[in-house]
Amino acid sequence: MSNLVAIVGRPNVGKSTLFNRLTQTRHAIVSDEAGTTRDRQYGKCEWTGREFSVVDTGGWVVNSDDIFEEEIRKQVVVATEEADVILFLVDVQNGITDLDAEVAGILRRTDKPVILVANKVDNNDQQYLAAEFYGLGLGDPWCISSTSGFGTGDLLDHIIATLPKQAEEAREADIPRFAVVGRPNVGKSSLVNAFIGEDRNIVTDIAGTTRDSIYTRFNKFGLDFFLVDTAGIRRKNKVSEDLEFYSVMRSIRAIENSDVCILMIDATRGIEGQDMNIFQLIQKNQKSLVVVVNKWDLVPDKDQKVMDTFINAIRNRMAPFTDFPIIFASAMTKQRIFRILETAKAVYDNRVRRVGTTRLNEEMLPLIEAFPPPSMKGKYIKIKYCMQVPETRVPTFVFYANLPQYVREPYRRFLENKIRERWDFSGCPMNIFIRQK
């Protein structure tokens, strides 16, 4: 399973700033006003070749009159229960407050590793102020400045050393894993039940019935894989129950640890903003994709024109990545459900497809010679050799050029499109790298 790091602490200690620095984004809103962050932010961090997920939580406030604070406190408790490592952020300029002491009292009772981080250490003299935090009973404080980046490298080294080793899961590594994902009440559990031929997962009309990610081994009709029914992922402002927040975190983990994601869309509602959020999460983790338009039996006019309208709308919203299969099905009537499994297996085979170096050069080099990269600053770019990198998570191709720094993104997409025209990589993301020859 992927590792998860939760950042907790009282309001206005710099959690969102640290989150932005670790994930190298600006997704979390940063303000001097306490309590700015009220939803969780989810991101990825990579350090020394090790990747882990980061969750930024709202500020932890106890006995507050603010109606948001109770919900924020619940979310923080759930985040600490689900996380592998907890970063407890304190402010070296304010010292230990009553809130810090209360949070520390709760964290001392958890069995998860807790790293005490003294933030806002803007110069070397302020490091001596951090000695006060030994009184919290959580070990050595790590002095950092999330604004300037001071000390964050050492902190990341310590996080990597503290994270549990990524042991092999009990499930066989060579068996593909298909995650069924989508908004709540889109029919995920009904589809899994239709696949396995029994009502193993609870199905109701109430959104949010499935609370956990359920792994099911499927071994029929010459197919062998793990099927994962995940909890529905709603917009953050719709996630009020702490149990549902737990489910969303589990769904995110299921996506991270899958090979192919079966994204279900409700045919009666069309593609919505939350469908796009899930799609972006799949793309961020570079997972293969099969789109299933469920509840097709409820659509009154099911002619080819309606199907083409659906297909165009989905591909336009998900552009520029448009090379993925779309299946119209019904979990209730079992219409085309076996085709979903066949397509998911075919997409998995595409994901592990390897193209020989000789054939790749025979096909691509004449094409590149006919349509070379545009010249930059009066210099001509020549690509003389290409190959597929072996043993990568997604199909990865390297093109060796004399001036790789001048090859722009449109030409990379041109190369990707030509590879997809000649070999079947449908449903799979692809990496194109230009290197110095």
Radius of gyration of the chain (CA): 25
d(CA 122, CA 326): 53
Q: Can you tell me the mean pLDDT for 89-108? A: 86
Q: Can you tell me the mean pLDDT for 235-257? A: 56
Predicted pLDDT of residue 79: 64
- How many percent of the chain have pLDDT more than 70? 78
**Dihedral of the alpha carbons of 147, 70, 243, 188, in degrees to the nearest 10:** -70
Q: Can you tell me the mean pLDDT for 14-23? A: 87
Relative to beta strand 177-182, strand 85-91 is: unpaired
Most confident of 52-61, 197-206, 224-233: 52-61
- Find residue 228's DSSP bridge partners: 179, 215
Q: Can you tell me the mean pLDDT for 181-189? A: 80
More confident call, 98 vs 159: 159
Whether the CB-CB separation of 77 and 111 falls below 8 Å is answered with no
Name the 3-class secondary structure at 396.
strand
Whether the CB-CB separation of 233 and 213 falls below 8 Å is answered with no
Name the 3-class secondary structure at 428.
coil
Q: Please, how many CA atoms are within 13 Å of residue 282, restricted to the half-sphere of its CB? A: 30
- Quickly state the pLDDT bin for 211 (edges 50, 70, 90): very low
More confident call, 59 vs 190: 190
Predicted pLDDT of residue 233: 46
Query: Does residue 234 surpass a pLDDT of 50?
Result: no
369-421 pLDDT, tens digit per residue, is 999 999 888 889 999 999 999 888 899 999 999 988 988 999 999 999 999 99
Q: Which residues contact 134 (CB under 8 A, 6 or more apart)?
A: 140, 141
Q: Can you tell me the mean pLDDT for 7-24? A: 86
158-180 pLDDT, tens digit per residue, is 999 998 876 444 444 568 888 88
The CA distances from residue 212 to 246, 275, 276, 394, in Å, are 8, 19, 22, 27
Predicted pLDDT of residue 58: 62
Q: Can you tell me the mean pLDDT for 251-272? A: 84
Predicted pLDDT of residue 350: 92
Predicted pLDDT of residue 154: 92
More confident call, 232 vs 291: 291
Predicted pLDDT of residue 36: 40
Query: Does residue 63 surpass a pLDDT of 80?
Result: no
Query: Does residue 125 surpass a pLDDT of 50?
Result: yes
**Dihedral of the alpha carbons of 393, 395, 400, 406, in degrees to the nearest 10:** -90
d(CA 168, CA 60): 35
Could you tell me how many residues make up the chain? 437
Q: DSSP labels for 63-99?
A: S---HHHHHHHHHHHHHHHH-SEEEEEEETTT---HH
CB crowding 70-109: b at 16 or more within 10 Å, else e: ebbbbbbbbbbebbbbbbbbbbbeeeeeebbeebbebbee
Q: Can you tell me the mean pLDDT for 116-137? A: 88
Predicted pLDDT of residue 269: 87
Count of CB atoms situated within 10 Å of the CB of 417: 13
Query: Does residue 240 surpass a pLDDT of 60?
Result: no
Predicted pLDDT of residue 206: 36
Query: Does residue 232 surpass a pLDDT of 50?
Result: no
User: Which residue stretches of 83-141 are H helix?
Assistant: 98-107
280-307 pLDDT, tens digit per residue, is 888 888 999 999 999 888 888 778 888 9
More confident call, 72 vs 288: 288
Mean pLDDT rounded to a whole number for the chain: 79
